[in-house]
Amino acid sequence: MNLKTLLTEDDAVSPVIGVILMVAITVILAAVIATFVLGLGDSVSNNAPQATFEFNPSDNTITMTGGDEITASKVTVTIDGNDKTTSNGLLEVGGSSTITAGTVIYDESGNGDQPFTKDTTIRITWDSGEGSSATIGSYNA
């Protein structure tokens, strides 16, 4: 063993350690970025709006009483599984394309139809248009 060569030689283990550290840093950085991107993608997804509704059996109306503003075309009212909306959205939203607090979304008061009879299930469903949906209101008579 030549002691002079050993003392002047620089490339022992340091290049290997440098490469290992660079690979480790790259892997950790990629994992952090992937976690951020995937986590951010979940939070941007179409979350169902929050809303409260008043179901009034005496005059056969459903009124939104509070919550987020909702696009009318994304809301469906079903009574015992029968769709009670038109192709353009809800039956009665006063010509508006959005539903806000105070909007009557269903009105059968003058029709004689009695949708709020015993054993009737009324469901208000929101559909994102991108594959997700949620029930935002329901009533069981």
CA dihedral (30, 36, 37, 38) positive or negative = positive
Say whether both 40 and 66 belong to one domain: no
**Domain count across the chain:** 2
**11 vs 120: CA distance, rounded Å:** 82
Say whether both 59 and 118 belong to one domain: yes
**79 vs 121: CA distance, rounded Å:** 6
Say whether both 63 and 131 belong to one domain: yes
Say whether both 77 and 36 belong to one domain: no
Say whether both 31 and 87 belong to one domain: no
Say whether both 121 and 82 belong to one domain: yes
Say whether both 63 and 94 belong to one domain: yes
Say whether both 36 and 62 belong to one domain: no
Per-residue pLDDT in tens (0 to 9) along the chain, 141 residues? 676 766 666 655 677 888 899 999 999 999 989 888 887 655 555 688 999 999 988 888 889 999 999 888 888 888 888 887 764 446 545 556 888 899 888 877 766 666 677 788 889 999 888 888 899 999 987
Domain extent for 28: 3-44
- How far is CA 102 from each of CA 81, 88, 125, rounded to the nearest angstrom? 25, 20, 18
Q: What is the DSSP letter of 33?
A: H
Compute the C-alpha angle 37/134/125, nearest 5°: 145
Q: What is the pTM of this model?
A: 0.61
Say whether both 56 and 40 belong to one domain: no
Sequence-distant (6+) residues with CB within 8 A of 13 are none
b/e code 30-55 from CB counts within 10 Å (16+ = b)? eeeeeeeeeeeeeeeeeebbebebeb
- Considering only the C-alpha atoms of the chain, give the largest distance between any 2 of them, rounded to a whole number of Å: 107
Instruction: Check residue 87 and give its pLDDT.
Output: 47
Say whether both 15 and 57 belong to one domain: no
Instruction: Check residue 114 and give its pLDDT.
Output: 67
Say whether both 77 and 62 belong to one domain: yes
Say whether both 13 and 82 belong to one domain: no
Listed residues 26, 44, 62: the one ending a domain:
44
